[in-house]
Amino acid sequence: MSLPKKFRCLIVDDEPPAREVLRRYISQIPILELCGEFGNAMQALIFLKQQQVDLLFLDIQMPQLSGIDLIGTLKHLPKIVLTTAFDQYAVQAFELDVTDYLVKPIQFDRFLKAVMKALPEHEPLAPVQPALTGAEPISPSFLYFRADRKMVKVFLKEILYIESLKDYVKIHTTRGTVVTKHAMTALEAMLPEESFIRVHRSFIVALDKIDSYTKEEIGIQKKFIPIGKIYRQQVLKDLNGKQLLN
């Protein structure tokens, strides 16, 4: 199963507690990868001339070089989310075309909204709880998808099956359907392997929602989903291993 693209993040803030909060928030979104953090903008400037990042969390008031000044020195700008204790820079910040402006103390739900704005439309988010020390990582309980000009929460336990529609996918759930622009392979990589299985180039099904199956198809709530030839051997092996039939 191929892994989805990770979005490289950089934190620039002269306050260690503020960096700690952002570091913890980033760790709870699997699609984000923290590639560095700095306590001043001069160090960040050197790093950004050598490394490419996708998303920059940037404080404004810092010694030597402010966050606003740093933006002005960069030729190739990543997506930028300003993080500051002051709201008087908001107008100036948005004139610089930043993605969002967060005022400290930053709450996780507000942080999440900023990340949603920064990522491409087809990328889902899967916020998860941090795993306990020494325990296996906890699978996400829901994903967010962009549909009808808003981010829609889809609980994994409610998904029946997912259907590919060229550049879009149709997520069938116990509460209805959600249509979103997304690549099927990338979505497959976001789903926990123990709960979902790809059975056809156009279908992914939830294992616990399967009512019946044969060598050719799977039944879920009166819907019969074909098993593709290239998937058949592995699908039947996995389903027999789950002992869905006596």
Confidence at residue 172, expressed as pLDDT on a 0 to 100 scale: 97
- Tens digits of per-residue pLDDT, 219-235? 999 999 999 999 999 99
> Average pLDDT of 16-20?
86
Pick the CATH number of 7-118 from 3.40.50.2300, 3.40.109.10, 3.40.800.20, 1.10.286.10: 3.40.50.2300
pLDDT of residue 121: 61
pLDDT digits (tens, 9 = 90+) for 149-171: 777 888 999 999 999 998 789 99
Assigned CATH class of 142-242? mainly beta
Domain boundaries along the sequence of the chain: 7-118, 142-242
> What average pLDDT does the segment 51-61 reach?
93
In this predicted structure, what is the pLDDT of residue 55? Answer: 96
Q: Is the pLDDT of residue 134 over 50?
A: no
Mean pLDDT of 168-195: 85
**Higher-confidence residue: 122 or 242?**
242
Contact 57, 83 (CB under 8 A): yes
In this prediction, residue 133 carries a pLDDT of: 37
- Predicted pLDDT of residue 135: 38
Q: Output the pLDDT for position 124.
A: 61
The tens digit of pLDDT for each residue in 135-144 reads 344 456 787 7
Over the stretch 69-114, which tens digit does the pLDDT of each residue have? 999 888 888 999 999 887 777 777 667 888 899 988 888 888 988 8
Residue 2 has pLDDT above 50, yes or no: no
